[in-house]
Structure 1
């Protein structure tokens, strides 16, 4: 039969089949469209990603302010190159003067008024502790916090908070292990900042010393961040007869401790917390000649170290720095921290694609394996849903009068 001679019932049946097929096709297309839809939380759109940040640009540890300036300079570079997946970064960095109550105030402003997508890299142990419950109640990522306190890697209790740098306990253990292996009969004096930062460091240090801590530690002293000097503490520590000094200090007080030890003729083997490893912020004010032999640890390439000259990772860093942060100090390792942590956040946001929801950002952050170019070789960023400690290894370094030299192998978990 030709089409013209088909019965009317057959024509109706065909039309019903065609209609059903068209409906199915449209439904399938709608499903694909829904899957491909962009998903945004507050702080994200087709054109913008809004990132909040808190750092002390003023106050007793204002040396850390350069971390925020370096991060801002890195996002400026990204924006000049087209942003992240076509979206420009709106980086809102606020000053808390290293005051936890001010940190709370600034965090609320960023979340409730500016409506940022994430709070990135807020600095300080007590300061992040002051906002941790608030950020988790609001379900806003408190991501890659700039503190090594162990408590910021607890995905069960605080699934919206994640650290970035090695923990203070890990670092404290590394120094204790080195002392035990090189100077098992050391008489140790400890100076620590009287807050969670100091206590966390000391906990790891004591755990690694074990039973020997009772006999090896001959003196302990603390200071407050509001103290003008630590001169009296250094005099008392020297009087203990200690031949080894563990300085759990932030930059201003680290520089004071190194200089005062030299002024009073105390020459112990010095171990210095990595938060104060900066040559420009600590060693230069202390006097490089006074810091010879100081031992610390790092997880970043030292921009003041000539060993990196000609290495692509450093040359790329230098080119970025010269163009986007010309008023900064190229030799300051704190800038490497700002640069490298910002790159880690970039990696998370790129992977998020068009699903810029806070839940997806935390999901991606908890499944990272990434090596920022300026991390020390052999060290990487690695996380899992049960491991919120991105960097867990460090390299011991010793100051030689002009720069820190690495020695031994990379240590840590």
Structure 2
């Protein structure tokens, strides 16, 4: 899990020709079959996500003043690059402050206060769950009311929104590719019924509401599909070959209209997202499924 641990073994895995499949991070670099043919991500990449936010801001809030908080590592910088690329030449001047934080910091409260002082009316929140919950709480505490974009990494109701407080989280915008296990509207959905049954039987102590559980299940279902397609030819080379030839595979937990597709030149299994807005105690989808084309 995470960009730094996978980056640490990235070259080693490829030198030793070990399939490093469905890496749990959205860094763009996992989609580089030419230089790293043994590594493949799973979730939509970070640059795709912030490019989609940028498109939305340019269309709906062309005069926005944007403040950005990002984690000072590959993960945070990837998201930031997607945002600046998406805003383009004109849009870059819309960013009034880019503020980074270190994961070793106990709290990011001082960064939030600093960003509010810029007078920004749009806040791009590129943080991991612990810091995302802190940011949501602090924004409410200091009565800052920007349009708040929260990266998908921290959009989990169970691990971020609920601890931060539903009342503090209203109208936050994010992007989704997975069904939200906390949303009762999926209760009769065949794919989610399989997920709930799996959790009850095989992982009863797990938190069904945690987005991470849904990701893990979706990645595991994808791996089962790859191994099934391998048949009895379970060589490393064939495992990578099958992983790179998935066509419209739906592991049951992806939103309607989103499917997994890979090819020998495209190691980004999921490249579609839908914008969501937090209302009441759940995320509501709005707009169309948006495809982002960001290469490795």
Whole-Å separation in 2 of the counterparts to 1:317 and 1:364? 24
| 1:193 lines up with 2:71 in the alignment | yes
- Aligned position for 2:60: 182
- Aligned position for 2:124: 246
Whole-Å separation in 1 of the counterparts to 2:151 and 2:134? 14
| 1:395 lines up with 2:274 in the alignment | yes
Decide which of 141, 156, 176 is 2:19's aligned counterpart: 141
1:363-394 Cα offsets, whole Å, 9 max, x none, are 11111111111111111110000011110000
Whole-Å separation in 2 of the counterparts to 1:270 and 1:365? 36
Unaligned runs of at least 5 residues, structure 2 = none
TM-score (norm 1): 0.69
Q: Secondary structure at the match of 1:155?
A: coil
In our comparison, the structure showing a higher alpha carbon Rg is 1
Whole-Å separation in 1 of the counterparts to 2:96 and 2:3? 27
How far has the Cα of 1:278 moved from its partner?
A: 0.5
TM-score (norm 2): 0.96
Decide which of 284, 287, 290 is 1:405's aligned counterpart: 284
- Aligned position for 1:304: 182
**What is the correspondence of 1:228-243 to structure 2 with a 5 Å cutoff?**
228-243=106-121
1:210-245 Cα offsets, whole Å, 9 max, x none, are 112332111111111111000110000000000110
**Residues 177, 255 of structure 2: 8 Å contact kept:** yes
- Aligned position for 1:351: 229
Could you tell which deviates more after superposition, 255-264 or 323-332? 323-332
Q: How many residues of Structure 1 are paired with residues of Structure 2 in the alignment?
A: 291
**Residues 84, 92 of structure 2: 8 Å contact kept:** no
1:23-75 Cα offsets, whole Å, 9 max, x none, are xxxxxxxxxxxxxxxxxxxxxxxxxxxxxxxxxxxxxxxxxxxxxxxxxxxxx
Unaligned runs of at least 5 residues, structure 1 = 1-122
Decide which of 242, 250, 263 is 1:371's aligned counterpart: 250
| 1:161 lines up with 2:33 in the alignment | no
Q: Which runs of 4+ in 1 moved over 3 A?
A: none
How far has the Cα of 1:129 moved from its partner?
A: 1.3
Structure whose residues are more often helix by fraction: 1
Whole-Å separation in 1 of the counterparts to 2:212 and 2:255? 14
Whole-Å separation in 2 of the counterparts to 1:297 and 1:188? 18
Whole-Å separation in 1 of the counterparts to 2:111 and 2:220? 37
- Aligned position for 1:286: 164
Whole-Å separation in 1 of the counterparts to 2:256 and 2:180? 12
1:326-367 Cα offsets, whole Å, 9 max, x none, are 112222222110000000000001111111111110011111
| 1:219 lines up with 2:97 in the alignment | yes
Decide which of 231, 239, 249 is 1:361's aligned counterpart: 239
Q: Secondary structure at the match of 1:261?
A: helix
